[in-house]
Structure 1
Amino acid sequence: MIAFTADAVVLDIEGTTGSAAHVRQVLFPYARQRIAGWFAAHRDTPLHGELVLATGASDEAGAVRALTRWADADAKAAPLKAVQARIWAEGYADGSLAGHVYGDVPGALAAWAEAGIGRYVYSSGARAAQRDWFATTEYGDLTRHLDGYFDLENTGPKNDPDSYRRIGRTLGVPAGRTLFLSDAPAELAAAAAAGWQTVRVQRPEDPAPEDLAEHDPHPTVQTLTEIQVVRA
């Protein structure tokens, strides 16, 4: 058991609270296959035009090509994340999709909530997609255990220390009293550079990151049950 004193816990999703395989093998292909159809279905809406412009394309066909190219490259592009979130929302609404979380996550969130510790999500996926993920799990709607969501559009890149400083200012929590959990070494390094406490989550079914340092400076756990957090 690793103990921390913190007022807020900020969580990554993919590979940390939910399966990386689910994201890559279920969610990404689901959205990619539906990009063209989604644009066709929303052709007469203001949102359609806004998203075409956001891709830098001059028409719908160009937007679809750009988004498909970004999807294939797993690009962290805001227009792609926006379209993915809307496609996934329709899938969550009709039951085609459900959010995946590991079995230790609901208990950890509930325990931190009972202890008065803030619980937040910071993911490359759009905030709407994050909420849908946690609202549709096999353990029920877990959004009741979460206090807020941060994404690339409203916060910035996850490898940039300034992104974590922005979150800290929004939360009003000192850097040293914020704990960040992620499976990505570069994200953890950025959070640590901003003064945050960090834990690397290495789920047994996921391979170790390619950029993992020989001497990992971050404490590592396989489940959230190995972490004890008490309020500062």
Structure 2
Amino acid sequence: MNTPSIRAVITDIEGTTTDISFVHKVLFPYAHEQLPEFVHSHSAQPDVAEQIAAVRAELKTPDASLDKVIETLLYWIETDQKVTPLKALQGMIWADGYQRGAFKGHLYSDVAPHLRQWADAGKQLYIYSSGSVQAQKLLFGYSTEGDLTPLFSGYFDTHIGHKREALAYQHIVSKLQLPADEILFLSDVVEELDAAKQAGMQTLQLVREGTQAGTQHACAASFDEITL
């Protein structure tokens, strides 16, 4: 793919820069295992208390017990729910795991060289993932390729909007203050690419192993096939 007008690249994580199995077989199980003790022992900590309150608000039960909050969070992990307070708490738990060396953030081997090349060429790089901004920074900060966070100009999560809705991408365009057609969005998910395209962005689907290629967007099997 050759897109000479691109000034900014926004990339998804799961299935795009990172093997989905890393998230589902390493990060999610770790959070599931650690969450009950973490929430119990940190419930008075302001940032944790804020997320506990947010879970109660989601349940529409302001006096829900802490055990009920934990039960709900575990259910959300088990059913892969994209709920903001869960993502925030997972990020806190993963931070501890990364810092203790329990795991490193997985990246496909083709990703880091091209991120560095694009940043060196003056392209603005951003992440947009359903995982929290904190979780995004941890994955790239403690990655198998070292700390890549200096390459990025910014990060977006579900606070900006849902990834399958065009309004979220319109908000991002407004934040970047660039023409929408000078922004390239990379993802493995057709519905996300559809939403970005509706907002005027250029789009490209990463078709990694196990991904079904769509017909409405340019495709690449790896970052090696992307030329900006």
Please give the TM-score of this superposition, normalised by the length of structure 2.
0.94
Q: CA deviation at 1:182?
A: 0.2
The Cα offsets for residues 99-121 of structure 1, whole Å up to 9 and x where unpaired, read as: 11111111111111121110000
Aligned residue for 2:208, secondary structure, equals: coil
Gaps of 5+ in 1: none
State the partner residue of 2:29.
29
Aligned residue for 2:205, secondary structure, equals: strand
Aligned CA distance change for structure 1 residues 179 and 48 (closer, same or farther; 3 Å): closer
| Structure 2 Cα separation of the partners of residues 47 and 228 of structure 1 | 41
The residue type paired with residue 208 of structure 1 is T
The residue type paired with residue 183 of structure 1 is D
Please give the TM-score of this superposition, normalised by the length of structure 1.
0.92
Aligned CA distance change for structure 1 residues 47 and 145 (closer, same or farther; 3 Å): closer
The residue type paired with residue 10 of structure 2 is V
Q: CA RMSD in A?
A: 1.2
The answer to whether 1:118 aligns with 2:124 is yes
State the partner residue of 2:144.
138
State the partner residue of 2:199.
194
| Structure 2 Cα separation of the partners of residues 228 and 29 of structure 1 | 36
Aligned CA distance change for structure 1 residues 51 and 174 (closer, same or farther; 3 Å): same
The answer to whether 1:220 aligns with 2:219 is yes
| Structure 2 Cα separation of the partners of residues 190 and 46 of structure 1 | 35
Aligned residue for 1:3, secondary structure, equals: coil
Match of 1:73 among 50, 70, 79: 79
| Structure 2 Cα separation of the partners of residues 139 and 43 of structure 1 | 34
Aligned residue for 1:149, secondary structure, equals: strand
Aligned residue for 2:2, secondary structure, equals: strand
How many residue pairs get aligned? The number is 221
State the partner residue of 1:39.
39
The Cα offsets for residues 139-173 of structure 1, whole Å up to 9 and x where unpaired, read as: 111112111100002x1100010100111110111
| Structure 1 Cα separation of the partners of residues 227 and 106 of structure 2 | 23
Q: CA deviation at 1:46?
A: 2.5
